[in-house]
Amino acid sequence: MALTYQQSKLVKDTIPALREKGEVITTTFYRNMLRDHPELKNYFNSVNQKNGRQPRALTSVILNFASNIHHMSELIPKFERMCNKHCSLGIQPEHYEIVGKYLLQAFAEVLGPAMTPAVFAAWERAYWVLAKMLIGREAQLYRDFDKWTGWRKFKIDRVVPETEDIYSFYLVPVDGKKLPRFHPGQYISLRVHSPEGYMQARQYSLSEAWREDYYRISVKRDEGARYSNSVSETYFHPGLVSNILIDHMPAGSTVELTHPCGEFFLDVNNNTSNMPLVLISAGVGVTPMVAIANTVTRTQPGRPISWIHGSRRTIPFEDHIATLRRQHHPYFRTNIFKTHLAASDIVGVTYNYDFRMDLAKVNPDDLFLTNSATEYYICGPEQFMLEMSDYLKSQGVPASRVKFELFSTGDLAFKH
């Protein structure tokens, strides 16, 4: 089912039009598809629909695909991320039929006469080349899920505040069955009923090492994008599911989860590794790092870990991190950056630097830059990850040893 040379050329020839009108195409696609198939609103993030992020992300995927039509291997990291996300939401092969129909219709509607029958046929074949790749990989992932397929009911056993705006939820399976293992760093999808009448799902990193009786996630209140002037301060497009969890889902409430997945993780099957780990996080990006740190300190207590974290005020899991540092000295070390100090903060105890994270200020020994096998894990806001990645690159760290966790829709401007 590969594209002919002429079809590949027709697809690539549409790139200028896609750059100009790509977001109009994807916005049209979502509008028409969700109008005719409102049941699919259970799968799509309503906030990212409203703020335009989902159409922009799809435009990026289409452009990347068209640009690399002869070099599909370049897209494998992006595809792996997409497939994991799809499986976490329960996407099935029949959904690709619907998406393909409305995407091609949107191409024709927006591009008009430029979407000739030959161009339409080329893009139809290109779409199914991509779709079959994704469907095949997703089938493999679903097989790995074994007996847990679809959504499973969990009870919120307890809710623990970690900071003024981050809360940990301890989730116990209603069926009482043992929970499957996962790789530390992976996430689950959690869905709840939204005020709009549809189910809404979001992905949350598991913030504790594997336990057979519960999973833990740690959720940050999402106030939305802040806009302020000299007169007032306003927030646009606040989070939905996270805020519902924090404000309306106390202990005893029931939620639904899918099997853990995600391509950002520490390979726990490689328990013989004694190479250093450097965990670099900011804000709620701490969550997958806690799972990684807890797993490694239990299973590989002699493995060096350097945790570098940045926060405005309160450090999530501050006491727990201090305990790990004390119990696993000298293998576990930390560097804490804080931009807003409290009266009780003590340099060298609760923080190390009173400014935004700057890896150049960290002792090079704590970055293990001279060890060619050091693994680096980064999680936090997009710009933060970009800056941390650029610094490591400038110090000669190859991209193959740096992993990122991207919480939002879309892709960063660097390769995984």
**DSSP labels for 141-185?**
HHHHTTT--S-EEEEEEEEEESSSSEEEEEEEETT-PPPPP--TT
Residue 264, burial from CB neighbour count under 10 angstroms (0-12, 13-18, 19+): buried
Rounded Cα distance, 121 and 1, in Å: 12
Beta-sheet strand order (sheet of 254-257): 199-205, 187-193, 254-257, 152-161, 166-173, 215-220
Distance of alpha carbon 70 from the chain centroid: 28
Rounded Cα distance, 366 and 332, in Å: 10
Rounded Cα distance, 95 and 87, in Å: 12
- How does DSSP classify residue 4? P
Rounded Cα distance, 380 and 253, in Å: 29
> Annotated catalytic, 377?
no
> Annotated catalytic, 138?
yes
The pairing of strands 375-379 and 277-282 is parallel
CB-CB contact of 197 with 173 (8 Å): no
Angstrom CA distances, 397 to 127, 370, 372, stand at 36, 9, 8
* Two tokens, residue 336: 């804490």
* Two tokens, residue 128: 């199914």
CB-CB contact of 121 with 138 (8 Å): no
CB-CB contact of 17 with 114 (8 Å): yes
Choose, from 30, 102, 127, 138, the residue flagged as catalytic.
138
Query: What are the φ and ψ backbone dihedral angles of 268, each rounded to 5 degrees?
Result: -75, -10
Rounded Cα distance, 333 and 329, in Å: 7
Query: What are the φ and ψ backbone dihedral angles of 175, each rounded to 5 degrees?
Result: -75, -5
The pairing of strands 199-205 and 187-193 is antiparallel
Choose, from 96, 204, 331, 377, the residue flagged as catalytic.
96
The end-to-end CA distance of the chain, in Å, is: 29
Give the count of beta carbons closer than 10 Å to the beta carbon of residue 303. 17
Residues with a catalytic annotation lie at 96, 138
